[in-house]
Amino acid sequence: MGNNEFVDHANDILINVYGFWPVQFTHGKGVYLFDTDKNKYLDFGAGIAVNALGYAHPRYTKAIKNQIDKLHMGLCYVADPYRIEAAETILAVSEFEQVFFCSTGAEAVEGALKIARKWAKAEKNKDAYEIIYVKDSFHGRTMGALSVNGQQQYREGYEPLLSGTHEAKFNDLESVKNLVNANTCAIIVEPVMGEGGIITATKEFLSGLRTLCDENNICLIFDEVQCGMGRLGTIFAYEHFDVVPDLVCMAKGLGAGFPVGAILGMKKFTKHITAGTHGSTYGGNPLACTAVTTVTKELLRPGFLENVDHVGQVLKDGLEEISKDTNLISDVRGIGMMLAANFNGGPVKDFVKKCLKNGLIILSCGENSIRLVPPLILTEKEAKKGLSILKQTLDDIK
């Protein structure tokens, strides 16, 4: 991998929040990345479930290039045609009436919490600001998002966070019910917990939350930042579970690499956000909106989502085969192209680096799991190639 002096240099000049890997990517093509030494990597990480269309996707790059030549940044006071088209395109495939564009997942979560609080103060009572979240969830790193984060390690050192947030258990409706009172304004949940280990909600849990929210006039927020935009083989994750939330938070795959997030919701809730009460300078700028429109249209192309289902299943079956062969991985889980398995061969982060050395990018998640979230354009052949590198890397450490 050549000399790694750049890692020391990076650690010197960049605030080291990531623990930099010993590699520098220079470019990508399809599902492959290339480094400064011209090594090729099959990418099952996709910028942490972001690069839905892979690298140098012809229609995506063409659309962004065209847009940058025309108008790269507008003015948020102006509903330019790009913002309108993105809104119409994403709303048309959703259940929702309005959308707000921002730039990141955490910002989408922040905005959703603000909408819920504003609605509840106006429609319920002035003290209705309590929010329920679940253990092991991840919603981002800003102070509001951290306040509904169910993983203590991300909160440590930053407290006190928002008041009025309460932790329930995932897939345990009773634990949520026990926290509901007249001041509950929102419940926030990931339909599939990503950072928490690719843990899927049961349909009963999500539909139970829906009923609970309907009966108690509570805003149900789904955080689909990681599991939305085709990752589960449906545009929105909620479609997979047949449960429609009141607000949904999107990012990552929404721009497929261009930073853009969104909150979609019904006017009952969103109408409480009026001019001047929320905003985002870059949110929904022409480049971001072109990315949203282009990505959404790609996902709707015949066969695209079917590919996620089919190749996702090939990956999952392959992981299960490997787990039968070696006890180094177990508990294969996930939906579509959002997959994980427990890693039993030591610290997973070391194994991730070994895979990298062998030309395969995978991620970690949860306590000690491997996570596969490849570009959604992955083919069966590429999936099998990745599985064979994974198998070889596991054999190396046996």
DSSP letter at 363?
E
The residue (of 128 and 339) whose beta carbon lies closer to ligand PLP is 339
Over the window 228 to 257, marking each residue x when it contacts ligand PLP by CB under 6 A and - when it does not, the resulting string is: -----------------------x------
The residue (of 234 and 323) whose beta carbon lies closer to ligand PLP is 234
> Residues 102, 207: contact at Cβ < 8 Å?
no
DSSP letter at 75?
-
Q: Tell me the closest approach of the beta carbon of residue 286 to ligand PLP, in angstroms.
A: 20
* Chosen residue from 51, 89, 200, 226 binding ligand PLP by CB under 6 A: 226
For residue 158, the number of C-alpha atoms closer than 13 Å in the C-beta half-sphere is 17
Q: Which residues have CB under 8 Å from 332's CB, separation 6+? A: 316, 319, 320, 323, 339, 340, 341
Q: Interaction with ligand PLP in 150-209: which residues (CB under 6 A)?
A: 190, 194-195
| DSSP assignment string, 116-177 | HHHHHHHHT-TT--EEEEETT----SSHHHHHT-S-HHHHTTS-S--SSEEEE-TT-HHHHH
The residue (of 128 and 251) whose beta carbon lies closer to ligand PLP is 251
Q: Tell me the closest approach of the beta carbon of residue 337 to ligand PLP, in angstroms.
A: 15
* Chosen residue from 28, 47, 105, 283 binding ligand PLP by CB under 6 A: 105
Picking from 358, 364, 234, 363, the residue whose alpha carbon sits closest to that of residue 296 is: 234
* Chosen residue from 67, 89, 94, 104 binding ligand PLP by CB under 6 A: 104
| Residue nearest ligand PLP (C-beta atom) | 105
Which range touches ligand PLP (CB under 6 A), out of 52-60, 99-107, 119-127, 165-173? 99-107
Which range touches ligand PLP (CB under 6 A), out of 14-22, 76-84, 223-231, 354-362? 223-231
Residue with tokens 């910028």: 47
Q: Establish if 372 lies at the interface with ligand PLP (CB under 6 A).
A: no
Which range touches ligand PLP (CB under 6 A), out of 26-34, 100-108, 268-276, 279-287? 100-108
The residue (of 32 and 170) whose beta carbon lies closer to ligand PLP is 170
The residue (of 109 and 376) whose beta carbon lies closer to ligand PLP is 109
Q: Tell me the closest approach of the beta carbon of residue 145 to ligand PLP, in angstroms.
A: 7
Could you give the CA distance from residue 37 to residue 26 in angstroms, rounded to a whole number?
9
Across the beta sheet with 130-134, the strand order is: 98-102, 261-265, 247-250, 219-223, 184-189, 130-134, 165-168
Could you give the CA distance from residue 162 to residue 312 in angstroms, rounded to a whole number?
38
How many residues bind ligand PLP (CB under 6 A)? The answer is 15
Could you give the CA distance from residue 79 to residue 99 in angstroms, rounded to a whole number?
13
Strand segments, DSSP code E, in 294-376 are 329-335, 338-343, 360-361, 363-365, 369-372
The residue (of 254 and 387) whose beta carbon lies closer to ligand PLP is 254
Cβ neighbours of 44 (radius 10 Å): 27
* Chosen residue from 28, 47, 111, 140 binding ligand PLP by CB under 6 A: 140
The residue (of 17 and 75) whose beta carbon lies closer to ligand PLP is 17
Residue 312 has which token pair? 């996702």
* Chosen residue from 99, 109, 115, 260 binding ligand PLP by CB under 6 A: 109
Q: Establish if 393 lies at the interface with ligand PLP (CB under 6 A).
A: no
Q: Establish if 138 lies at the interface with ligand PLP (CB under 6 A).
A: yes
* Chosen residue from 225, 248, 260, 376 binding ligand PLP by CB under 6 A: 225
| Amino acid at position 221, single letter | I
* Chosen residue from 63, 102, 106, 248 binding ligand PLP by CB under 6 A: 106
Q: Establish if 334 lies at the interface with ligand PLP (CB under 6 A).
A: no
Report the Cα 99 to chain-centroid distance in Å.
18
Q: Tell me the closest approach of the beta carbon of residue 109 to ligand PLP, in angstroms.
A: 6
Could you give the CA distance from residue 167 to residue 190 in angstroms, rounded to a whole number?
14
Binding site for ligand PLP (CB under 6 A): 48, 104-106, 109, 138-140, 190, 194-195, 223, 225-226, 251
